[in-house]
C-alpha cells in the first residue's frame, strides 16, 4: 500500500535524512521524500498498519531533524 | 514570507544592529563578554538547541552541530585571548552565526518562492465543478462528480472533468496543457479535456471520466511525482554529502591536533594551539554542503517546471538527465512527422476540369466510410448538392461505382480501371492514386497522401542544431513514400515497410551499434508504439493531449503534436543539466579552495562563511535560471 503525506522541512539535506530515517523504520518498504513539493510517499510492508507505522516514522524523522513535521 | 521567515529576518536585523552598536561601547573584560553574548544567543539559540538535541539523539555530523562547535570554539578562543592580555574577537562567532542564518533564510525564501512560482505554472487543478441541481447551478467538489453527470462550465472557468459537450459552442484555451496559445473551437458532440479554460460560451458537458482519471489530475500527479525520481546527479550529491561532511570533520580534528603536536615534539618549537584550533574551526564552517544539496534538486525542479510550462511533461529528473544526453532521435513517421490523416495533394484531370473531377469523386464516395473517402469528401466541401447519385456499389479491392446524373462513374484503383477497360496511367506523385472514369473513359486521377507537418523540416534542422547527431525515421509505409519524406525533411536515415515488432528490432539494432551517438530517444504518437517507447533509452510520446496510453508508456510527453517540441525538450534538458554541472563544479571547487586556504591559515572564519553563504546564494540564483526556457 502506498500513501502520500504532506511534510514540513526547511533544508534539502534534512529532507534526504528524513528519507533515510523513514526507510529504516519498521513496516516501511520504501519511502521517498520530495523536498520540492514537500511530500513524503511511503510504501508500507504487507500487513503493516499505516497509522502506527507513520507514528514511528515521525518519531524517527524528529530524531534526525528536530523541526520537521509530517502531517498525518 | 512565512511566519518563521519573518521572525528570522527580524533576528538577523536585530543582531546586525546590536553588533554595530556594541563596537562603540567602551567596556572591557567580563562585561564585554556578557554584552556580546546577547547578540550571539539571539542569533544562534535555535542552532545551539538543535545541536544539543542532535548530540542527545546520537546524530554526529549535523549541520547545526558543526556551526555550534565552530562558533562556541571561536567564543572560547576569544575569551582565552582576553585572559592572556589581548583583545578577544567576539564579533567573529556572531558574524559566522549571522551569515549562516542569512544563508538559511535566503535558501528558505528562494525555495519557497520557486515552489510557489512553479506550482502556479502548473496550476491546472480545477477547484470546483458546477452541477445542474434542482435550484439551478450548484458548486461541488469535482471529486464527488460521478461519471455521466452534466456539468456547466461558464466563460472564464476551467473545465474540471473530461467529457463531451452536450450544449453550447465556445473557444477553449489549452495553453496550460500544451503551452500553445492557439485556441481551440468546440461545439456539440466534441470531446473536451479538463484543464482547458473556457473562453467565451457557456458549455454543458456530460462527464466521461471521474475526476481522478481526468487529464488534469493525471498530469498534475505526473508532474508532482516527477522530482521524486532522482537523477544520477542528485544521487551523487546525496552520497557526496554523506561522505564529505564526516571527512571534513575528521580533517578538522586532525588539523587541530597533529600540527601542534608535531611542532612541539618533532620540531621542538611552541605548539601554537590557538592558531591550529582556529584553523580547524574555520574548516568546520566550510564543511556544510548546503549549496550543493539545495541547488541541485532546485535546478531539476525548475527545469521540470519550465518544461511543463511549454507543454513538455518530463516524468522525472532522471529522464531530464537522459534527455540531455540524447544523440540519436528515432522517429515514427505517421503522426509524428506527418499528420497521419490523408489529404488530397494533387488533382490531375485529363478531359474535364479539376473542380469537376473532385466534384464527381466526392459524389461517388458519398456513402463510404473508408478514410480515403472521408478525405475526398473533405476536398470538395459542397458535396451535398442537387446532383443525382444512384446505384452506389462498392467493389471490394477495386473502388466504388455509381450513377451520377445518369452517367456511370467509377472511382478506384488500377485494378478497377483494368476491369472496366479504361486507359489509365500512373502518376509521378508519391501517394495513393485514385483513378476516375466516366462511362468507361479515363478522365483523370486524384492523389491522396499523408501530409508532412508544417514544422517537421524545421524540427529536424533544430534537432541537428541542438546537437542530435542522427535523426532516423521508422515507418510501416512503402519505401518510395518513406524516402521522399526522409529526403524532404533532411533525415539522416530511414527504414520503411516495418511492422510494429520490426520497429523494436530496429531500435535495438541502433542501441547495439557501438557507433551510435549518445542516448537513443524514440518519438512516437504513443498509440501502437508503446513497446518501442519502452525499449529506447528514452521514450517521447507526442500529441498526447487526452491519450492515457501515451502518458503511461512514455518518459517524456509532448502535449501537442508539434515536432519542434522535440528539440525544445532536448534544449531545456541540456540547459538544466548545464546549470546542475556548473553548480556542482562551482560549489565543490570553492569549498575545496577555501578548505586549502583555511588549512594554511590564509582564509579566516569570515572568508569561510562568506564563501559558504555566497556560493549557496549564487548556486540558488543559477538554479532558478533553469525555469526560463521560453527562448530555447
pLDDT tens digits along B69-79: 888 988 888 88
Between strands B493-495 and B470-474, the pairing is: parallel
Mean pLDDT of B513-524: 86
Q: Residue B151: beta bridge partners?
A: B131, B205
Q: How far apart are CA B105 and CA B102, in angstroms?
A: 5
In whole angstroms, what is the distance from residue B300 CA to residue B314 CA?
11
Greater model confidence, B473 or B57? B473
Alpha helices in B188-289, H assignment, sequence order: 215-226, 232-261, 273-286
pLDDT at B527 over 90: no
Over range B13-19, report the average pLDDT. Answer: 91
Contacts B119 to A, Cβ<8 Å = 37
- Would the CB atoms of B241 and A16 count as touching at under 8 Å? yes
Strand pairing of B441-452 and B470-474? unpaired
Query: Would an 8 Å CB–CB cutoff place B238 in contact with chain A?
Result: yes
Q: Which of B54, B59, B289 comes nearest A13 by C-beta?
A: B289
What does the pLDDT read at residue B117?
75
- Cβ distance of A36 and B301 shorter than 8 Å: yes
Q: Name the residue facing B224 among A16, A37, A63 (closest C-beta).
A: A37
Work out the pLDDT band at B59, boundaries 50, 70, 90: low
- A64 touches B at CB < 8 Å: yes
Mean pLDDT, range B334-354, rounded to an integer: 79
- The helix, strand and coil proportions of chain B, stated in percent and rounded to the nearest 5, come to 50, 20, 30
Q: What's the pLDDT score for residue B343? A: 79
Name the residue among A10, A11, A36 with its Cβ closest to that of B227: A36
Give how far Cα B257 sits from Cα of B252, B586, B603, Å.
9, 30, 19
Residues B510 and B472: their CA atoms lie apart, in Å, by: 10
Give me the total of CB pairs closer than 8 Å, taking one residue from chain A and one from chain B: 57
Q: Does A45 touch chain B (CB under 8 A)?
A: no
The length of chain B in residues reads: 632
Give the residue-averaged pLDDT of B4-10. 90
- Find the Cα–Cα–Cα–Cα dihedral B351, B356, B360, B361, rounded to 10°: 80
Question: CA of A63, closest CA in chain B: separation in Å?
Answer: 6
3-class DSSP state for residue B515?
coil
pLDDT digits (tens, 9 = 90+) for B359-408: 878 888 877 777 677 777 877 777 677 777 778 787 777 788 888 888 88
Distance from CA of B70 to the nearest CA of A (A): 20
Cβ pair B272, B260 in contact under 8 A: yes
Can you give the pLDDT at residue B40? 92
**What was the pLDDT predicted at B481?**
79
Query: B321, B572 in Cβ contact below 8 A?
Result: no
Identify the band that residue B546 occupies on the pLDDT scale cut at 50, 70 and 90: low
**The pLDDT value given to residue B352:** 81
Concatenated DSSP letters for B31-46? HHHHHHHHHHHHHHHH
Where do the DSSP E strands lie in B304-415?
312-314, 326-332, 338-349, 389-395, 399-404, 407-412
What confidence score (pLDDT) does residue B176 get? 74
The reply to whether A2 touches chain B by the CB within 8 Å rule is: no
Chain A contact probe: residue of B7, B125, B293 with most A CBs at under 10 A: B293
What does the pLDDT average to over B274-284?
A: 84
Closest chain B residue to A59, measured at CA: B57
Pick the closest to residue B477 from B506, B498, B493, B491 (CA basis).
B498
Q: What is the pLDDT of residues B99-119, one digit of tens each?
A: 888 888 888 888 888 777 777
User: In whole angstroms, what is the distance from residue B556 CA to residue B566 CA?
Assistant: 10
The residue-averaged pLDDT of B171-181 equals: 77
- Of B125-134, B289-298, B572-581, B597-606, highest mean pLDDT: B572-581
Helix (H) or strand (E) holding B505: helix B500-512
Helix (H, G, I), strand (E, B) or coil at B466: coil
A32 touches B: beta carbon within 8 Å: yes
**Pairing of β B184-186 and β B170-173:** antiparallel
Give Cα B152 distance to the centre of its chain.
32
Residue position matching grid coordinates 580534528: B253
Q: Please tell me which of the candidates B118, B290, B301 has its beta carbon nearest to residue A11.
A: B290
Choosing among A33, A36, A63, which should be mutated to test the B contact, i.e. which has the most B CBs within 10 A?
Answer: A36
* B544 — pLDDT class (breaks 50, 70, 90): low
Binned at pLDDT 50, 70 and 90, residue B471 comes out as very high
Residue B290 has pLDDT above 80, yes or no: no
More confident residue, B36 or B2: B36
Sign, CA torsion B84/B86/B87/B90? negative
Q: Which of B53, B227, B294 sits opposite A66 (nearest CB)?
A: B53
pTM of the model: 0.79
Full DSSP string of B571-619: HHHHHHHHHHHHHHHHHHHHHHHHHHHHHTTSS-HHHHHHHHHHHHHHH
Which of these, B582, B38, B33, B538, lies nearest to B298 by C-alpha position? B582
Closest Cβ–Cβ partner in B57, B293, B298 for A13: B293
Greatest mean pLDDT among A13-17, B380-384, B548-552, B585-589: B585-589
What gap in Å lies between CA B565 and CA B455, rounded to an integer?
A: 10
| C-alpha–C-alpha distance, residues B475 and B238, integer Å | 43
pLDDT band at B461, cuts 50/70/90? very high
The pLDDT score that the predictor gives to residue B181 is 66
The CATH T-level fold of domain A2-71 is: Alpha-Beta Plaits (3.30.70)
Cα angle at B308 between B305 and B313, to 5 degrees?
115
CA diameter of chain A: 33
Contact criterion met (CB < 8 Å) for A11 and B225? no
CATH architecture of B341-452: 3-Layer(aba) Sandwich (3.40)
Of B176, B170, B175, B160, nearest in space to B209 by CA: B160
Ranking A32-41, B464-473, B561-570 by mean pLDDT, the lowest is A32-41
Residue (of B10, B11, B36) closest to B22 by Cα position: B36
- The answer to whether the CB of B548 falls within 8 A of the CB of B529 is no
Interatomic CA distance for residues A13 and B61, integer angstroms? 12
* Phi, psi values for residue B550, rounded to 5°: -65, -40
Q: How far apart are CA A9 and CA B6, in angstroms?
A: 17
A55: distance to nearest CA of chain B, Å? Answer: 17
Please count the other Cβ atoms lying within 10 Å of the Cβ belonging to residue B354. Answer: 13
The answer to whether the Cβ–Cβ distance between B224 and A39 falls below 8 Å is yes
What's the confidence (pLDDT) of residue B224? 72
Residue of chain A nearest B294, judged by CA positions: A12
Give the residue extent of every domain in chain B: 1-121, 129-225, 341-452
CA distance B368 to A6: 57
Q: Is A4 on the interface with B (CB under 8 A)?
A: no
Residue B345 has a CB neighbour count (10 Å cut-off) of 17
Task: Give the distance from residue B252's alpha carbon to the nearest chain A alpha carbon, in angstroms.
Answer: 21
**Annotation marks residue B332 as catalytic:** yes
Asked if residue B294 has pLDDT above 60, the reply is yes
Model ipTM value: 0.77
Cα–Cα distance for residue pair B16/B265, rounded to 1 Å: 44
What SS3 state is found at B402? strand
- A23 vs B: CB within 8 A: no
Contact flag A36-B59 (C-beta cutoff 8 Å): no
In 3D, which of B134, B133, B131 has the Cα closest to residue B142?
Answer: B131
Q: Specify whether the CB–CB gap between B296 and B234 falls below 8 A.
A: yes
* B188 closest CA partner among B207, B170, B210: B170
Q: How far is CA B292 from the centre of its chain?
A: 21
In B, which residues are within 8 Å of A67 by CB distance?
50
In the prediction, which pLDDT does B248 show? 83
Summarize the confidence of residues B199-225 as an average pLDDT. Answer: 83
d(CA B228, CA B70): 34
Given an 8 Å threshold on Cβ–Cβ distance, is B290 in contact with A13? yes
> Which chain A residues are Cβ-neighbours of B228 within 8 angstroms?
32, 34, 39, 41
Q: Which residue of B228, B231, B240 is the best one to mutate when testing the A interface, meaning the one whose CB has the most A CBs within 10 A?
A: B228
The pLDDT value recorded for residue B322 is: 93
Q: Is B115 within 8 Å of A37 when comparing Cβ atoms?
A: yes
Residue B180 confidence (pLDDT) above 70:
no
Q: At what angle do helices B564-599 and B605-624 cross, to 10 degrees?
A: 180
Residue of B162, B332, B450, B555 marked catalytic: B332
Question: What architecture is domain B129-225?
Answer: Distorted Sandwich (2.70)
Q: Where are the domains of chain A?
A: 2-71
Amino acid at each position: 500500500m502506498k500513501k502520500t503525506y504532506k511534510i514540513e522541512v526547511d533544508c534539502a539535506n534534512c529532507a534526504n535524512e528524513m528519507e533515510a530515517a523513514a526507510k529504516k523504520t519498521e513496516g516501511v518498504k520504501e519511502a521517498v521524500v520530495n523536498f520540492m513539493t514537500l511530500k513524503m510517499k511511503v510504501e508500507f510492508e504487507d500487513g503493516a498498519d499505516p497509522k502506527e507505522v507513520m507514528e514511528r516514522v515521525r518519531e524517527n524523522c524528529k530524531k534526525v531533524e528536530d523541526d520537521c513535521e509530517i502531517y498525518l | 514570507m512565512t511566519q518563521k521567515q519573518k521572525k528570522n529576518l527580524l533576528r538577523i536585523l536585530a543582531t546586525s544592529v546590536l553588533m554595530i552598536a556594541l563596537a562603540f561601547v567602551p567596556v572591557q573584560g567580563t562585561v564585554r563578554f556578557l554584552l556580546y553574548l546577547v547578540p550571539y544567543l539571539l542569533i544562534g539559540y535555535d542552532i545551539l538547541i538543535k545541536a544539543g538535541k542532535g548530540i542527545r539523539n546520537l546524530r554526529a555530523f549535523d549541520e547545526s552541530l558543526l556551526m555550534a562547535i565552530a562558533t562556541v570554539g571561536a567564543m572560547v578562543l576569544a575569551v582565552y585571548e582576553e585572559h592572556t592580555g589581548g583583545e578577544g574577537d567576539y564579533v567573529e562567532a556572531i558574524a559566522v552565526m549571522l551569515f549562516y542564518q542569512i544563508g538559511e533564510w535566503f535558501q528558505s525564501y528562494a525555495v519557497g518562492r520557486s515552489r510557489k512560482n512553479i506550482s502556479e505554472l502548473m496550476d491546472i487543478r480545477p477547484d470546483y465543478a458546477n452541477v445542474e441541481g434542482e435550484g439551478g447551478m450548484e458548486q461541488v467538489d469535482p471529486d464527488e462528480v460521478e461519471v455521466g453527470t452534466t456539468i456547466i462550465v461558464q466563460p472564464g472557468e476551467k473545465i474540471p472533468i473530461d467529457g463531451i459537450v452536450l450544449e453550447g459552442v465556445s473557444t477553449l484555451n489549452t495553453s496550460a496543457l500544451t503551452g500553445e496559445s492557439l485556441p481551440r473551437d468546440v461545439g456539440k458532440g466534441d470531446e473536451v479535456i479538463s484543464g482547458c479554460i473556457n473562453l467565451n460560451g457557456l458549455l454543458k458537458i456530460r462527464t466521461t471520466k471521474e475526476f481522478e482519471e481526468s487529464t488534469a489530475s493525471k498530469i498534475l500527479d505526473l508532474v508532482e511525482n516527477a522530482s521524486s525520481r532522482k537523477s544520477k546527479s542528485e544521487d551523487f550529491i546525496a552520497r557526496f554529502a554523506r561522505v564529505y561532511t564526516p571527512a571534513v570533520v575528521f580533517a578538522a580534528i586532525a588539523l587541530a591536533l597533529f600540527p601542534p603536536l608535531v611542532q612541539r615534539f618533532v620540531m621542538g618549537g611552541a605548539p601554537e594551539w590557538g592558531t591550529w584550533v582556529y584553523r580547524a574551526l574555520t574548516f568546520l564552517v566550510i564543511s556544510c554542503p548546503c549549496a550543493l544539496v539545495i541547488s541541485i534538486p532546485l535546478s531539476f525542479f525548475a527545469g521540470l517546471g519550465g518544461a511543463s510550462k511549454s507543454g513538455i511533461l518530463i516524468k522525472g529528473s532522471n529522464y531530464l538527465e537522459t534527455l540531455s544526453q540524447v544523440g540519436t532521435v528515432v522517429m515514427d513517421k505517421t503522426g509524428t512527422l506527418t499528420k497521419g490523416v490523408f489529404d488530397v495533394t494533387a488533382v490531375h484531370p485529363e478531359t474535364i476540369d479539376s473542380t469537376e473531377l473532385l466534384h464527381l469523386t466526392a459524389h461517388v464516395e458519398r456513402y463510404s466510410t473508408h478514410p480515403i473517402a472521408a478525405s475526398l469528401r473533405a476536398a470538395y466541401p459542397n458535396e451535398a448538392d442537387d446532383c443525382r447519385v444512384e446505384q452506389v456499389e462498392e467493389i471490394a479491392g477495386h473502388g466504388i461505382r455509381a450513377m451520377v446524373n445518369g452517367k456511370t462513374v467509377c472511382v478506384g484503383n488500377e485494378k478497377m480501371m483494368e476491369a472496366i477497360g479504361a486507359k489509365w496511367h500512373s502518376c509521378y506523385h508519391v501517394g495513393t492514386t485514385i483513378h476516375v472514369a466516366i462511362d468507361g473513359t479515363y478522365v483523370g486521377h486524384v492523389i491522396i497522401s499523408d501530409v508532412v507537418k508544417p514544422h517537421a523540416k524545421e524540427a529536424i534542422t533544430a534537432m541537428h542544431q541542438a546537437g542530435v547527431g542522427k535523426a532516423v525515421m521508422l515507418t510501416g509505409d512503402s519505401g518510395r513514400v518513406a524516402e521522399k519524406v526522409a529526403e524532404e525533411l533532411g533525415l539522416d536515415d530511414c527504414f520503411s515497410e516495418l511492422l510494429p515488432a520490426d520497429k523494436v528490432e530496429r531500435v535495438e539494432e541502433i542501441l547495439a551499434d557501438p557507433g551510435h551517438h549518445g542516448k537513443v530517444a524514440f518519438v512516437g504518437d504513443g498509440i501502437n508504439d508503446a513497446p518501442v517507447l519502452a525499449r529506447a533509452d528514452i521514450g517521447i510520446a507526442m500529441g498526447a493531449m487526452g491519450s492515457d496510453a501515451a502518458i503511461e508508456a512514455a518518459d517524456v510527453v509532448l502535449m501537442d503534436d508539434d515536432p519542434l517540441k522535440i528539440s525544445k525538450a532536448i534544449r531545456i534538458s541540456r540547459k538544466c543539466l548545464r546549470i546542475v554541472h556548473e553548480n556542482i563544479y562551482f560549489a565543490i571547487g570553492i569549498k575545496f579552495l577555501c578548505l586549502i586556504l583555511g588549512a594554511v591559515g590564509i582564509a579566516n572564519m569570515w572568508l569561510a562563511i562568506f564563501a559558504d553563504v555566497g556560493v549557496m546564494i549564487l548556486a540558488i540564483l543559477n538554479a532558478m535560471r533553469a525555469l526560463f526556457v521560453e527562448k530555447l
